[in-house]
């Protein structure tokens, strides 16, 4: 079951929550909508569920226009952030209640109930009220109820945000297992980038109601298209730069760190002011392993923070701009504060971004 949002807008009075959204969700994928609070991701999910009406644009499910179809007729299962379990009904009743609304035989209802309980490992809790369950168990009941109706689509609205870290890890595994087993197309809303990067087969990043970029987790991390995205997904060092020359998708750029010749799939004009993003782990402090051809530059050493498996180093450019460097299992002893330090970066690890940025980016 695939989904297509075509130029979808949603307005609440004068406030535009979703702006001209066009995305495609592939059949069988676990597609994530990722973005900071208030970016329009939950509104998008609710538009797809039919709980909100589209202001303009269209939504297709399997090429069928469902824009004006009532929620109940879309055959969608949904897990709310707070699970929305009916508190006066037992686990079993929560599931059987929705099955009773389906026009299916009694035997089929029983089979689906059993299957939903089995897939979410809830057999032992079927006679309990939701209030008598832990957060993780409640989340599984919500999932079981959503899956029991054999929906065409499964929508998950920040389903793990109320759980503690340990439980969240377990539930990620559970959701992935269930998705793997059911192969259902699912749209998952979260603001937790780690959740999206570790679980999603595709991610759409949203910001201020707009789609910023859609791609696989790796694509988004390694090839972000805007400074916002580079800063939002993982940590990065953003610096202003200028295009000096271009030749066969290789761009010669001038930055505060020096001259670099960098490959890029995006197109830029000579003299264009751009931004560059260099991930902290891509900046190396010069040592015996330095690659000969890699361009080097000198920065002033700042403080270092030991974090067990990795260590973060703070470095400064001549204009005192902070640059972060990350090393894993390093035996290297960091220079004293204020010491000039030679660093290097591989050109392909420098990401050229079309927009200039100003000040701090939200993350």
Partner 1 sequence: MISTHFRSSLKWDFKEGLFTYAVPFLVVLILGVFLLLPVGTLVLKSCVGPTGFTLDYFKLLFENKLYTASIINSLQIGLCSTVVATFISLPLSLIHVKFKFKGKSLLFGLILLPMIMPPFVGAIGIQQFFSLYGAINLFLLSHNIISTPIAWLENNNSFYIVVLLEALHLYPILYLNLTAALSNIDPSLEEMADLFGVSKIKKFKDILIPLATPGYIAGATVVFIWSFTDLGTPLLVGYHDVVPVRIFNMVTDIQENPMGFALVFLVILMTIVFFYISRMTLRNSKKYEMMSKGHVTEAAKTPSTSVTFLIYLFSFFILFFALFPHASVFLKSISDNWFMTSFPEKFTLENYSKIFLQDLPFIGIKNSLYYASISTLFDLVFGVAIAYLITRKKIPFGALLDSIVMIPLAIPGIVLAFGYIVTFSNTPLDPLLNPVPLLIISYGIRRLPYMVRSATAGLQQTHISLEESSTLFGASHWHTLRKIITPILTANLIAGSLLCFSYAMLDVSDSLLLAMKEQYFPITKSIYTLYLEQGNGDVTASALGMFTMLLLGGMILLAAGILGKKLGELFRS
Asked whether the beta carbons of 86 and 94 are under 8 A apart, the reply is yes
CB nearer to partner 1: pick between 41 and 279: 41
Q: Which stretch binds partner 1 (CB under 8 A): 22-30, 117-125, 126-134, 342-350?
A: 126-134
**Can you tell me which residue has the tokens 């910023």?**
212
How far CA 174 is from CA of 33, 51, 226, in Å, comes to 19, 27, 33
Asked whether the beta carbons of 312 and 360 are under 8 A apart, the reply is no
**Strands 76-79 and 153-157, how do they pair?**
parallel
117: phi then psi, degrees, rounded to nearest 5: -70, -35
Q: Answer yes or no whether residue 82 interacts with partner 1 by CB under 8 A.
A: yes
Separation between Cα atoms, residue 142 and residue 78, nearest integer Å: 8
- Give the burial class of 58: count Cβ atoms within 10 A of its Cβ; 0-12 exposed, 13-18 middle, 19 or more buried: middle
Q: Which of positions 130-149 make contact with partner 1 (CB under 8 A)?
A: 130-132, 135, 138, 149
Question: Which 8-state DSSP code applies to residue 217?
Answer: H
Total interface residues for partner 1 by CB under 8 A: 34
Q: Answer yes or no whether residue 84 interacts with partner 1 by CB under 8 A.
A: yes
Closest CA to 227 of 260, 170, 275, 193: 275
Q: Which stretch binds partner 1 (CB under 8 A): 112-120, 123-131, 225-233, 345-353?
A: 123-131
Q: Answer yes or no whether residue 158 interacts with partner 1 by CB under 8 A.
A: yes
Q: Answer yes or no whether residue 150 interacts with partner 1 by CB under 8 A.
A: no
Q: Which stretch binds partner 1 (CB under 8 A): 59-67, 68-76, 191-199, 350-358?
A: 68-76
Residue 43 CB, shortest distance to partner 1, in Å, is 10
Q: Which stretch binds partner 1 (CB under 8 A): 97-105, 109-117, 274-282, 303-311?
A: 97-105
Residue 81 CB, shortest distance to partner 1, in Å, is 4
Residue 326 CB, shortest distance to partner 1, in Å, is 34
Q: Which stretch binds partner 1 (CB under 8 A): 107-115, 153-161, 220-228, 321-329?
A: 153-161
| Ramachandran assignment for 63, one of left (phi > 0), alpha (psi -120 to 50 degrees), beta (any other) | left
Q: Answer yes or no whether residue 73 interacts with partner 1 by CB under 8 A.
A: yes
Residue 231 structure tokens:
């800063």
CB nearer to partner 1: pick between 82 and 254: 82
DSSP per residue, 315-362: EE-TT--EEEEEEES--PPPPPTT-EEEEE--GGGEEEESS---SPPP
261: phi then psi, degrees, rounded to nearest 5: -115, 115
Q: Answer yes or no whether residue 244 interacts with partner 1 by CB under 8 A.
A: no
Q: Which of 17, 76, 220, 230 binds partner 1 (CB under 8 A)?
A: 76
Q: How many CB atoms lie within 10 A of CB 147?
A: 22
Q: Which of 88, 121, 250, 259 binds partner 1 (CB under 8 A)?
A: 88
Residue 90 CB, shortest distance to partner 1, in Å, is 11
* Interface mask toward partner 1 for 21-60; x: CB under 8 A: ---------------------x---x--xxx---------
Q: Which of 40, 44, 54, 83 binds partner 1 (CB under 8 A)?
A: 83
CB nearer to partner 1: pick between 101 and 105: 101
DSSP per residue, 139-195: HHHHHHHHHHT--SEEEEESTTTTS-HHHHHHHHHHHHHHHHHH--EEEEEES-HHH
Q: Answer yes or no whether residue 14 interacts with partner 1 by CB under 8 A.
A: no
CB nearer to partner 1: pick between 82 and 330: 82
Closest CA to 175 of 160, 165, 192: 160
| Contact set with partner 1 (CB under 8 A) | 42, 46, 49-51, 71-73, 76-78, 80-88, 97-98, 101, 129-132, 135, 138, 149, 157-158, 161-162
């Amino acid at each position: 079951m695939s989904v297509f949002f075509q130029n979808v807008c949603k307005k609440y009075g004068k406030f535009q929550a979703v702006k001209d959204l066009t995305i495609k969700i592939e059949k069988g994928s676990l597609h994530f909508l990722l973005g900071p609070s208030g970016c329009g991701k939950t509104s998008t999910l609710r538009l797809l569920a039919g709980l909100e009406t589209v202001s303009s644009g269209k939504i297709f499910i399997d090429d069928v226009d469902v824009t004006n179809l009532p929620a109940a007729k879309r055959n969608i299962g949904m897990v709310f952030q707070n699970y929305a379990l009916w508190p006066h009904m037992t686990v079993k009743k929560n599931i059987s209640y929705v099955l009773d609304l389906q026009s299916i035989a009694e035997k089929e209802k029983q089979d689906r109930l059993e299957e939903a309980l089995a897939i979410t490992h809830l057999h032992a809790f079927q006679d309990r009220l939701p209030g008598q369950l832990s957060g993780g168990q409640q989340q599984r009941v919500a999932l079981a109820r959503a899956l029991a109706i054999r929906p065409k689509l499964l929508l998950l609205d920040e389903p793990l945000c109320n759980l503690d870290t340990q439980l969240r890890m377990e539930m990620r595994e559970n959701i992935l297992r269930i998705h793997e087993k059911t192969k259902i197309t699912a749209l998952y809303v979260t603001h937790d980038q780690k959740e999206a990067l570790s679980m999603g087969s595709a991610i759409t990043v949203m910001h201020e109601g707009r789609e910023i970029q859609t791609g696989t987790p790796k694509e988004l991390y390694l090839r972000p298209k805007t400074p916002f995205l580079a800063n939002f997904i993982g940590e990065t060092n953003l610096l202003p730069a200028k295009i000096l020359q271009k030749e066969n998708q290789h761009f010669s750029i001038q930055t505060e760190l020096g001259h670099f010749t960098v490959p890029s799939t995006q197109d830029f004009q000579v003299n264009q002011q751009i931004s560059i993003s260099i991930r902290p782990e891509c900046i190396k402090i010069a040592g015996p392993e330095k690659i000969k051809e890699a361009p080097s530059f000198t920065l002033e050493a700042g403080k270092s923070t030991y974090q067990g498996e990795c260590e973060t180093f703070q470095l400064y450019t001549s204009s005192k701009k902070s640059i972060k460097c990350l090393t894993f299992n390093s035996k290297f002893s960091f220079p004293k504060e204020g010491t000039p330090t030679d660093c290097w970066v591989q050109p392909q690890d420098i990401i050229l971004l079309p927009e200039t940025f100003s000040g701090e980016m939200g993350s």
